[in-house]
Amino acid sequence: MKLHILGICGTFMGGVAALAREQGHSVDGSDQNVYPPMSTQLEQLGIRLSQGYSAESISGDTDIVVVGNALSRGNPAVEHVLNGQLNYTSGAEWLRDHVLPGRCTLAVAGTHGKTTTTSILAFLLDAAGRDPGFLVGGVPENFGVSARLGTGKEFVVEADEYDTAFFDKRSKFVHYRPTVAILNNLEYDHADIFPDLAAIQRQFHHLVRIVPGNGCLVVNGEDEALREVLAMGCWSPVERFAIDGEAEWKARLLREDGSEFAVSHHGQEIAIVRWDMVGRHNVMNGLAALAAAHAVGVDIAAVVPQLVHFVSVKRRLENLGSANSITVYDDFAHHPTAIRTTLEGLRARVGKARILVAMEPRSNSMRLGAHSEQIAPSLDAADLTLFLHRPELAWDAGAVISHLRAPGEAVASVDALIARVVDLARPGDHVVFMSNGGFEGAPRRALAALSGSASAA
């Protein structure tokens, strides 16, 4: 079968492409923005990529067009598909119909931590010898690819609540029919498609409705919004996880930065996790993954020692290197809570060292101002924040800067942002670039510029 994937460089659609290629299908695709790491991964798989959306990119012998949810009516490729009555589907439907049948699907849902938790869960299953399949919204360092079929029964999928396609406005995760579903947390997000938190809760309840009675829901026991979802009706066993409060799975921090913690199940301590991850949020991600692995029969005490070898996903506080004793990180930031927890984790690790943040407010919710009041408090752990405020961005950076605990500036271009980083950073600093897009390669460009300035000095 020959597939053309529209929106192929998105993390989810790129994973679908990789799985289809592994199944032996012929795959090509197109996207408006072709950039690493996904473009690199796809090219290494021999998948031809076209820049932009046009009818010419879809060859006449294409059997099916897989449409990403970033495309809408009026897009030239979409109009060509509809006018030509071409066979088309969504990425979530393709996964359901061609990859998931016969598998034990473990779906990881939540506003934050989906990619990291999916990666941890896949790692644990792999450590247990299960050879799981997976589709992750990023590139897990331990595997080097965002998706693989695997030979085992389990398949782990990052389960996004965003809508499926222009022709299917249900959340993507309702297509997966999981045996085990992780509900990691729930906050208001995706302001472009959801009017309020209640609308997202309804979608999460659709997911709860399809988990079988002999399956399992792994739920954040500290999250009030998820308690409200379960109160709408629940027909499956529930295993809760928490650091504070009552839960079947508990963590006790042994190090403040979250790099070491004890795990208890039903009040009995069963393991101690030692790993390179930092932050309370990652302890919760780890607990969720351990509970889900246990739900499919993994001996937790046997696999926990392997977590010392777990390496986080690319662009999740990814340490790119140092220049002149200045450390540069690349972080995928899309929501104030994720920004806050990431920076708090880094602060716990680096102590009193300066943290500089270079931020691109790129997500739809950020650009629409849905989180404007939360952004300044989320940056309390930073000592200086530089905002990329493109002229076309309808977002009041000045109002946010005025409420920051520490100094902040707005710059109009990536070039200017990098120049300010080079001017302001000094030895011992930690510079965190935060964006859920390509950021025009700013993190690596800044590291190179800092290296050049160090050499010049």
pLDDT digits (tens, 9 = 90+) for 374-385: 788 889 889 999
CA distance 345 to 349: 6
Q: Which of 441, 438, 443 is nearest to 32 (CA)?
A: 438
Query: What's the mean pLDDT in 387-396?
Result: 75
Q: The domain spanning residue 388 has which CATH number?
A: 3.90.190.20
Position 402 scores a pLDDT of: 86
Question: Is the pLDDT score of 457 beyond 50?
Answer: no
Q: Is residue 362 over pLDDT 70?
A: no
41-69: average pLDDT: 92
pLDDT 10s digits, 221-240? 999 999 999 999 999 999 99
CATH code of the domain covering residue 66: 3.40.50.720
Low-confidence winner among 15-19, 318-322, 330-334, 382-386 (lowest mean pLDDT): 330-334
Domain C-terminal end among 309, 337, 354: 309
Residue 302 and residue 223: Cα distance in Å, rounded?
A: 29
* pTM score above 0.75: yes
Residues 280 and 370 in one domain: no
Is 384 or 35 the better-scoring residue by pLDDT?
Answer: 384
Q: Among 69-78, 121-130, 184-193, 427-436, whose mean pLDDT is lowest?
A: 184-193
Structural domain containing residue 45: 2-91
**Residues 266 and 391 occupy one common structural domain:** no
What is the chain's mean pLDDT, rounded?
A: 90
| 271 plus 370 within the same structural domain | no
Residue 140 has pLDDT above 80, yes or no: yes
Closest CA to 303 of 120, 441, 439, 150: 120
- Which percentage of the chain shows pLDDT scores above 90? 64
Backbone angles phi, psi at 170, to 5 degrees: -75, 155
Please check whether residues 147 and 249 belong to one and the same domain. Answer: yes
pLDDT for res 226? 97
Q: Of 254, 285, 309, which residue sits at a domain end?
A: 309
Tokens at 398, concatenated: 């000045």
Do residues 304 and 334 both lie within one domain? no
Same-domain status, 127 and 42? no
Q: Are strands 147-148 and 133-135 parallel, antiparallel or unpaired?
A: antiparallel
Domain count, the chain: 3
Most confident of 137-146, 239-248, 440-449: 239-248
Is residue 167 located within the same domain as residue 48? no
